[in-house]
Each structure stands twice: as structure tokens, then as C-alpha cells.
Amino acid sequence: MADADRLNDESTYQRCFACGTKNETGLKLVFRREGDRVVADFIPSVGQQGFPGVLHGGIIATLLDETMGRTGALRREWLMTGKLDVRYRKPAPIDRPMRVWAEIAREREGAIDAVGAVELQDGSVVADARGIFLRMPEQVANKALAQYPEFLNYWQE
């Protein structure tokens, strides 16, 4: 299997703003594993800027949120954000490649504490974050299963 950790949505849904391939206005992140980290590459576009020439901070937060939450795939669990603390360190220029990464800092029953960062190609940090990601509530999972039953066995090979 090319994506053994199932880091990328292989379901019929694929409409997530951050990673959905069927979301025309989304970021279309593609994740890979590098050691214990989940990593994605991203090139901001003009339509994602806040201040002229600078990537909007909400997009930066989204990059971190999605990548950090994706660490749940390493445990084969669907997670949702419980808390996200982002520290913006420098402006992120549009049209310049960047890399976002995340890793599990601590695991506990029903939650993951994750850390992550957005970096430019020279390794300089645009923003970093810490967050708590919680197991998806059963009622939310059941509602998704009603529309997308393949989620039930998503982690099965």
C-alpha cells in the first residue's frame, strides 16, 4: 500500500478544506510520514494572502491544525481539535514553498498532545504550535458513517 498509514483521505468524501482533493477552494494538502512526523508541502497563492504578499494567519493555523490532527492516523484514530495554540514568528510570503510538520508530543487515553511548525525552505520557522487533539465524539462519527460507511473500516488493510 502506497500510504500505509492512511494519512490521506482515500474515502469517497474528500471534501475537507485542508486536504480534500474534491474541494475546489481547499488547500489540497498531501501528507507523508518522515520518521515520527507527519509532513506536507505547501505553496501559498495570491488568493490566500491577508496583508499584501503575506499568507493569511488563518491559513497558517489551518495548516498546523490539520497536520497536527493527522498524527491521529499514526494511532489509527479520527481526532478533532480540542485546543490549538499558534505562535506566529515571521511573515509567510506567498508563492514561496513551505513545509508543515507535526509529531505526537504525548499520548493519553482519548487524546494526543501534538506539536508542529510551518517552515520555509531555508528552515526558518514561520509559526509553531502545540495542541490537544481528542478522539472524535461517537455522535459525530456515527453521523459521518451514515453518509460514508467506508469510514467504519478505514483503518483496516
What CATH number is associated with residue 132? 3.10.129.10
Looking at the predicted structure, is the pLDDT value of residue 130 above 90?
A: yes
Q: For residue 17, is it within any domain?
A: no
Domain that holds residue 36: 31-153
Kindly state whether residue 16 falls inside one of the protein's structural domains: no
In angstroms, the first-to-last Cα distance of the chain is 9
Residue 129 main-chain phi, psi, to 5 deg: -155, 160
Q: Is the pTM of this model over 0.85?
A: yes
**Do the beta carbons of residue 73 and residue 66 sit within 8 Å?**
no
Residue carrying the nine cell digits 481528542:
134
pLDDT score of 2: 62
- Per residue in 26-51, pLDDT (tens digit) is 999 999 999 999 999 999 999 999 99
The C-alpha angle with vertex 77 and arms to 31 and 88, in degrees rounded to 5, equals 50
Q: Cα(98)–Cα(95) distance, rounded to whole angstroms? A: 9
* Whole-angstrom distance, CA of residue 52 vs CA of residue 63: 20
Residue 15 lies in a domain: no
Task: Note the pLDDT tens digit of each residue in 74-109.
Answer: 998 889 999 999 999 999 999 999 999 999 999 999
